[in-house]
Structures are given as structure tokens and as C-alpha cells.
Amino acid sequence: MTTPPTSVPAVDDDGPVILRNPAAAADAPHAPRRPDGTQWRFEMIHAGGSLRTYAQTPAALVEALVPGYRAITTPTEAAAARIRLACDLQVRRQAELATAPQLAECTPEQRQLLLGDFSRPPVLDQWDGPIPLILVTTFYTPVGRIAAPQGRDIWWLDPGEDWELLVSLAQAGIITLASSQPAGAGAPEDDDGLG
């Protein structure tokens, strides 16, 4: 596996610029500037907290998670890339959550689901387990064919569009997002979803 360089020059004015994130005890790096000297609109911490990415658009942030993403030429291929990413990150994050002590409080059925095979979307009516269940919206109603389960602590990853994917990844604790513009100041859909 190759190690990412300390800094990756911006491909264009939209970014991404990727930097190593220092250890938690170290000071955060100074945010790089855009080629015109202004701040980047978005900052994303990802890869288990080891990288910081700066970009001007949601698509440029997704590019940092899916190399080559912006070179994809059709909406169908871009959607498929976002779905693959959401499914991959769903499995990784669910595995992290399943190491919590609350796993012992799960019923055998809940434990089997949490520790089971996610190569196919889980089919269930209700979730009330002590550990959050992470699902991908694409497969469940109203978008997909499987009836969406009811219950508490279901975390949905939404690969429908770039920004929705990023916000849902942040809500699931997979990435951290920050915006240099307050909500209502031109963030996607005029609501950056960052709280």
C-alpha cells in the first residue's frame, strides 16, 4: 500500500487538496489556501481521522473518497460509484460499532444480523437493538424495493447525490465535515446539513 503524500496539489480550482492529519495531541495543520488565496469552502476529515481534505465542491470531496470520481462521465456510473462507496463504508462502520460492549445485550437474532453478511441488504421489519444499524437508502423504500425497517437507531447512508452522501457519512461518524460558509450562505441545497 502506498502512503499518501503530505500534500497533493489541487487538480483544479475545486480541489481536492489532501493532507495528513496529525495525531490528536498535535496541533491541527494550517488550512491550505485555494490558488486564488481564498479559503476552501469545505474541509473533510476521513480515512479513520488520518487525512484532511479541502475542496470547493461536494464532488471534489467525493473524489477524495473515490479516486477518479470526477472523471466518471455518466450519472449512472457516478451513482454506482457512490453506492459502492456507501456499501463499503457501511460494512466497515457496522463492524466498528459491533465491537461495542452493548453487543452482549443484543438478542441472538440482532447479533446475527450485526455480525452477518452485508453483501445483500438486510431484510427486517423492526430494529430495536442497543447498537445502531447502518443501512443504505438505495435498497429500501421509497427508493429501492425492500420495505424500510422501523425502529430506533437506524443510521441511513444516502448515496443519492454527492452532498447527501457526505452528510449521511458525517451523521454516521464516518467522516467529519466543516464548511467555511454558514448554512444559508450558498451551501448545497441552501442547508449544509452540518448542524
Name residue, grid cell 452485508.
118
Would you state the pLDDT for residue 69?
A: 96
Q: Which amino acid is at 177?
A: L
Euclidean distance between CA atoms 194 and 182, whole angstroms: 9
What pLDDT sits at residue 5?
42
Q: Does one domain contain both 95 and 126?
A: yes
SS3 167: helix
Q: Are residues 95 and 154 in the same domain?
A: yes
The whole-angstrom separation of Cα 87 and Cα 185 is 31
For residue 40, give its domain range. Answer: 17-69+174-190
| Nearest-angstrom CA–CA distance, 18 and 39 | 14
Are 56 and 106 part of one and the same domain? no
Tell me what pLDDT residue 1 has: 38
133 and 113 in one domain? yes
> What does each of the 195 residues of the chain score in pLDDT, given as a tens digit?
334 444 444 446 788 999 998 876 677 778 899 989 999 999 999 999 999 999 999 999 999 999 999 999 999 999 999 999 999 999 999 999 999 999 999 999 999 999 999 999 999 999 999 999 999 999 999 999 999 999 989 999 999 999 999 999 999 999 999 998 765 444 554 444 443
pTM here?
Answer: 0.85
- The number of domains in the chain is 2
Task: Please tell me the distance from the alpha carbon of residue 97 to that of residue 103, in angstroms, as a whole number.
Answer: 9
Measuring CA to CA, how many Å separate 155 from each of 46, 134, 141, 148, 174?
18, 5, 15, 12, 11
Residues 85 and 143 placed together within one structural domain of the fold: yes
Quote the pLDDT of residue 192. Answer: 45
CB 52 within 8 A of CB 19: yes
Is 56 within the bounds of a domain? yes
For residue 12, what are the contacts with CB-CB under 8 A and spacing of at least 6? none
